Structure 1
């Protein structure tokens, strides 16, 4: 049984989570997250902790940002778009049991109060910003680091928020460069 309550978008996500692990969920009801749902998430965070596990799409990111702002200290689980896609539909409900378990095993904790060694210069040198393939490289790096896809500014913020170490960052960068070198 997972101690924390998992925050998902809807009923189908709850079904998928319960297929993979023994856990309780709070459903946001989609991207129209309201004050009552936020109050329930805050209470869950105070009593047991929460894991935000939203779809790897625009609506899911919007919900994640709202919860991150309103509920400090929430944990986050991420699926890649590939792992959450079935027949063109993206969502937690489409992920395999193994993908859900892996995402929950790699939960990231919000550590905004601590400084990260990752800098803007690191992102630039890694080709994650101001680079012709920056978006594709951020997608690959985000998947390797377990923080999902986002724009350059949000990628930087997530590196800080989830305390991505320089060692983790450099290992993911090497792996990405080796993969790209092999496909060139």
Structure 2
């Protein structure tokens, strides 16, 4: 398993970030807010990894971010601009800049 883990909300977000990433990263989809059981299942295998969180800049995304912040206090939080709203609609150039500080990205 990869040492870096990027948590996103959905499959469209996963596809979007994979277009930018130029290194092996385990991109995990939460499919929205997590139940306690699903949260536990998600967290256990990644506790010792470098975890990054990139969720939508909307109410649902912020709710998920708060939930993950409580359970993964050492995770690094990455943000898209509110004007872009969702990760999947964030321009590739902007997404590249957001990820560049933490991952190898395509030029």
TM-score range, shorter chain: 0.7 to 0.9
Q: Report the CA distance shift for 1:3/1:97 in structure 2 as closer, same or farther (over 3 A).
A: farther
Give ranges in structure 1 of 5+ residues lacking alignment. 85-89, 108-184
SS of residue in 2 equivalent to 1:79:
coil
Q: Counterparts of 1:165-180 in structure 2 under 5 Å?
A: none
Q: Which residue of 1 aligns with 2:38?
A: 36
**Between 12-21 and 34-43, the greater mean CA deviation after superposition:** 34-43
**RMSD over equivalenced CA pairs, Å:** 1.9
Q: Which residue of 1 aligns with 2:100?
A: 105
User: Residues 94-142 of structure 1, C-alpha deviation per residue, up to 9 Å, x if partnerless?
Assistant: 01222112112356xxxxxxxxxxxxxxxxxxxxxxxxxxxxxxxxxxx
Q: Which residue of 1 aligns with 2:66?
A: 65
Q: Report the CA distance shift for 1:99/1:62 in structure 2 as closer, same or farther (over 3 A).
A: same
Q: Distance in 2 between matches of 1:62 and 1:71?
A: 14
Which protein has the bigger strand share? Answer: 2
Q: Distance in 1 between matches of 2:16 and 2:57?
A: 15
Q: How many pairs were matched up?
A: 98
Q: Distance in 1 between matches of 2:99 and 2:43?
A: 18
Normalized against structure 2, the TM-score is what? 0.79
User: Which structure has the greater CA radius of gyration?
Assistant: 1
Q: Counterparts of 1:30-179 in structure 2 under 5 Å?
A: 30-31=32-33, 33-34=34-35, 35-46=37-48, 48-82=49-83, 84=84, 90-106=85-101
User: Residues 22-72 of structure 1, C-alpha deviation per residue, up to 9 Å, x if partnerless?
Assistant: 4321111113x12224432342131x2210100011110000000000112
Q: State the Cα distance separating 1:21 from its structure 2 match.
A: 0.9
Answer whether contact 1:13 1:93 (CA < 8 A) is retained. Answer: yes
Which protein has the bigger helix share? Answer: 1
TM superposition outliers: structure 1 runs of 4+ over 4 Å = none
Q: Distance in 1 between matches of 2:46 and 2:28?
A: 9
